[in-house]
Structure 1
Amino acid sequence: MASKAAQKRLTREYKSISENPPPYITAHPSESNILEWHYVITGPEDTPYHGGQYWGTLVFPPNYPFAPPAIRMHTPSGRFQPSTRLCLSISDFHPKSFNPAWEVSTILIGLLSFMTSDEMTTGSVSTSSAERKFLASRSRWWNSTGGGSQAKGNFATKGNVKAGDGGAKFRSEWPEVDLENWEWMRKNKIDAATGAKPDGDNGSSCGPQLGIAGSSGNQAQAVVDAVVQQRDAGRGWLYRNKLLVAGAAIFIYVLIARLVNGNETLA
């Protein structure tokens, strides 16, 4: 149960973040527990997360703001392990470094900043840009279906939400957003069970080619280099340098011919 100080502080912060939401971020406390906040981050432009819808929770301690919240992101992003506590300077992993002056908006702005960086920590994962774009394209579907599951309830508590609840927890916290997601899936002909388009036109749904690093241009160049190396490996030195050998043979032939002609003249 929240202390009076935490109750007052979080009520004030909800009013503040509702009136002046940070860019790409919206958040609110659960109706049943003011210590459990739910946020949605919209993937910023010029990032692999562009267009993605990332849902997560902040679970505050009863003595907030004198201790930080546990931070989780439930939506698969390719950046964080879903529903796993994140080790950040603004999370409950580092209570001594938390500043009581930091607010919910400060915490979420810090989370977004970390998300778009390449820094690693407990709870983060390393994936390719292609995989993150792929997950972003499926994020609305994942949030509203629980990853395609059919269950209607029985979701975990304390913000620890994973695939398997049929989207029940997301729907209970974000009913309007959930309706928008279903309308988006209808317009885009998304199969609710799989997240794919029935006609097979799924964009990047084949996923990234794991184990191949770098951009597509670098990958193409790597393939070309490998083909050249394999081709040359099966050929001898004479074949690879045939022009040089031919030129040298002609030069020697002309030189010998001139020497022979010179000797015949002297004779």
Structure 2
Amino acid sequence: MSLKVAQKRLTREYQTIADKLPPSITAHPSDKNILEWHYIIGGPKDTPYADGQYWGVLTFPDNYPFSGPTVVMKTPSGRFEPSKRICMSISDFHPKGFNPTWEVSTILIGLQSFMAGNEATTGGVYASNAERKLLADRSRWWNSTAGGSHLEKTSSSKAGDGGKRFREEWPEVDKANWEWMASNDVDTATGRRAGADKNSCAKTSLGLGGSSGHNVVDAVVQQRDAGRGWMSRHKYLIAGALLFTYVLIARLINGDSLA
């Protein structure tokens, strides 16, 4: 009985949702399952996400609207971990706190607002503003190519779906994305724009994995590895300095003369 209530409620909400959402947010239920909704959120203005196109999924429980949905964002953003459940007061993490008067539009507007903040949360990640801006710039490319996996010749556990799922749910948006990539000279293998400085930290390929299974290349990790490389090259110098410091401290403790 509860499932029928959820289906009826979501069907009614879909009929009116266009009037309740701002132009920067759109959503629809999957053709195969009324309990699965796909959304696209435009990056909030005056934030590093401003130019981004963020695709995600809401999965509603059978007893909706008495419990909230699972909320995930598939597009790498630097705010949320791709395809991981996001803890919000309006998500399934807090079923007892969900208000039955809240609707899909309430949830998505709340998610957009929450994205603009920096609150630590389950499913959240940390990234610099430069990293988030880069991910925003590559978000259309990522959505329509699944992180460049459209070029994969063989299927594997590490390959994505080549943008198939996004194309199925958002055919018109996908077409516009490909036109945008062509007009902006975007390399469909990497998401880089033509002429981009590959050595620039602000243009490092970040977090472009996610549900496709592609490796996440984080600038923080690169910096850490660079530090390890320097230490490896100067290990003898470092060891000598440590030994000298140890001997000096030992002599001071013993009261010996430094002369």
State the partner residue of 2:176. Answer: 180
State the partner residue of 2:100. Answer: 100
Asked if structure 2 preserves the Cα contact closer than 8 Å seen for 1:59 and 1:71, the reply is: yes
Q: Are 2:131 and 1:131 equivalent residues in the alignment?
A: yes
Give the secondary structure class of the aligned counterpart of 1:51.
Answer: coil
Q: How does 1:36-51 map to 2 (within 5 A)?
A: 36-51=36-51
CA distance in 1, matches of 2:96, 2:177: 39
CA distance in 1, matches of 2:181, 2:142: 11
Q: How much identity, in percent, do the aligned residues show? A: 64
Q: 1:125 to 1:31 in 2, by over 3 A?
A: same
Q: How does 1:1-267 map to 2 (within 5 A)?
A: 3-150=3-150, 164-200=160-196, 204-206=202-204, 210=220
CA distance in 2, matches of 1:125, 1:138: 18
Asked if structure 2 preserves the Cα contact closer than 8 Å seen for 1:28 and 1:37, the reply is: yes
State the partner residue of 2:215. Answer: none
Give the secondary structure class of the aligned counterpart of 2:57.
Answer: strand
CA distance in 1, matches of 2:170, 2:23: 18
Asked if structure 1 preserves the Cα contact closer than 8 Å seen for 2:21 and 2:109, the reply is: no
Give the secondary structure class of the aligned counterpart of 2:140.
Answer: helix
State the partner residue of 1:262. Answer: none
User: So what's the TM-score if we normalise by structure 2?
Assistant: 0.73
CA distance in 2, matches of 1:182, 1:173: 15
In structure 2, list runs of 5 or more residues that go unmatched: 207-218, 222-259
Give the secondary structure class of the aligned counterpart of 1:186.
Answer: helix
CA distance in 1, matches of 2:19, 2:106: 15
How many residues in Structure 1 have an aligned counterpart in Structure 2? 206
- After TM superposition, give the deviation of residue 66 of structure 1 in Å: 1.1
CA distance in 2, matches of 1:5, 1:51: 38
Give the secondary structure class of the aligned counterpart of 1:34.
Answer: coil
- Specify which structure has the bigger relative contact order, considering alpha-carbon pairs within 8 angstroms and separated by 6 or more residues: 2
The one-letter code of the counterpart of 1:98 is F
Asked if structure 2 preserves the Cα contact closer than 8 Å seen for 1:22 and 1:105, the reply is: no
- After TM superposition, give the deviation of residue 72 of structure 1 in Å: 0.1
1:96-125 CA distance string (max 9 Å, x none): 110111000111111111110111110001
Q: 1:10 to 1:34 in 2, by over 3 A?
A: same
TM superposition outliers: structure 1 runs of 4+ over 6 Å: none
- After TM superposition, give the deviation of residue 2 of structure 1 in Å: 7.5
In structure 1, list runs of 5 or more residues that go unmatched: 157-161, 212-267
- After TM superposition, give the deviation of residue 207 of structure 1 in Å: 6.2
CA distance in 1, matches of 2:30, 2:205: 35
State the partner residue of 2:252. Answer: none
CA distance in 1, matches of 2:107, 2:20: 15
CA distance in 1, matches of 2:103, 2:194: 44
The one-letter code of the counterpart of 1:51 is D
Asked if structure 2 preserves the Cα contact closer than 8 Å seen for 1:2 and 1:35, the reply is: no
Asked if structure 1 preserves the Cα contact closer than 8 Å seen for 2:20 and 2:105, the reply is: no
Q: 1:194 to 1:73 in 2, by over 3 A?
A: same
The one-letter code of the counterpart of 1:184 is W
Alpha-carbon RMSD: 2.7
- After TM superposition, give the deviation of residue 23 of structure 1 in Å: 4.4
- After TM superposition, give the deviation of residue 8 of structure 1 in Å: 1.2
User: So what's the TM-score if we normalise by structure 1?
Assistant: 0.71
CA distance in 2, matches of 1:201, 1:186: 19
Asked if structure 2 preserves the Cα contact closer than 8 Å seen for 1:130 and 1:207, the reply is: no
